[in-house]
Amino acid sequence: MRSLPLLFALFLAIPLIEIVVLIKVGGIIGAGWTIILVVATALMGAVLVRTQGLATFSRIQNLLGRGEIPAIEMCEAMALFLAGALLLTPGFVTDSLGFLLLVPGLRRWIILHFLQNGFVAAARPSPQHRPPLEGQWRHKDDS
């Protein structure tokens, strides 16, 4: 449960950072242009996430049709979902992170980095997991 304090810190820090950045940008370009820019990035991000999401879904279907497991593509779909959530969150910091996840090469690099370094719990067997026992069995009632 080490991630709980980190999530709590991010939950508090990200909105504060966004407010500071929005105030600074609003002071430079004005409140109206800031609002227009935030809405425009959300709309543009939604279109890009939809386009890339449909392409990823198509790759997943093709791989499944060939009998292959689309593990990386499923991770890409989750990354696109996260990108969409970040882009719909008002603010420039979250929009920047969301747009970074829309760069296919960078997104795949991040996914492979997380998988190789064990950041994904499903990639590591749990300590309680034991392999199934194999052998022959029969009922006591059978001769």
DSSP state, 39?
H
Tell me the pLDDT tens digit for each residue of 61-80: 999 999 999 989 999 999 99
Distance CA 26, CA 137 (A): 74
Q: Which of 71, 50, 88 is nearest to 123 (CA)?
A: 71
Q: What residue segments make up the domains of the chain, in order of their start?
A: 15-120
Tell me the pLDDT tens digit for each residue of 88-137: 888 999 999 999 999 999 999 999 998 888 765 554 445 555 666 677 76
Measure CA 26 to chain center: 29
Distance CA 39, CA 91 (A): 9
Q: Is 119 strand, coil or helix? A: coil
Q: Which of 132, 23, 56, 42 is nearest to 86 (CA)?
A: 42
